[in-house]
Amino acid sequence: MSLASIGVPGLIIILVIVLILFGPRKLPEVGSAVGKTLAEFKKSARDILDEEDKPDTPKKKDPS
């Protein structure tokens, strides 16, 4: 089951439940926190993928 199969009625039900749980005053804070968390997750995932794409660089030998 993917997120695309939820549809508009499912999203409306989810939004109503969230509104009941957190109330209208907390909703902007919850949305902001979710947005920041998602942005940080995307940034971390992008960094990991970029790190994997880089060619292995030879490590310098210790002169000791």
Number of structural domains the chain divides into:
1
Establish if 31 belongs to a structural domain. yes
Establish if 17 belongs to a structural domain. no
Establish if 9 belongs to a structural domain. no
- Separation of alpha carbons 26 and 18, rounded Å: 10
pLDDT at 28: 87
Establish if 3 belongs to a structural domain. no
pLDDT at 30: 84
Distances (CA, A) of 4 to 7, 11, 27: 7, 10, 23
Q: Is the pLDDT of residue 62 over 80?
A: no
Rounded mean pLDDT, 38-61: 81
pLDDT tens digits, one per residue of 14-27: 888 988 988 888 88
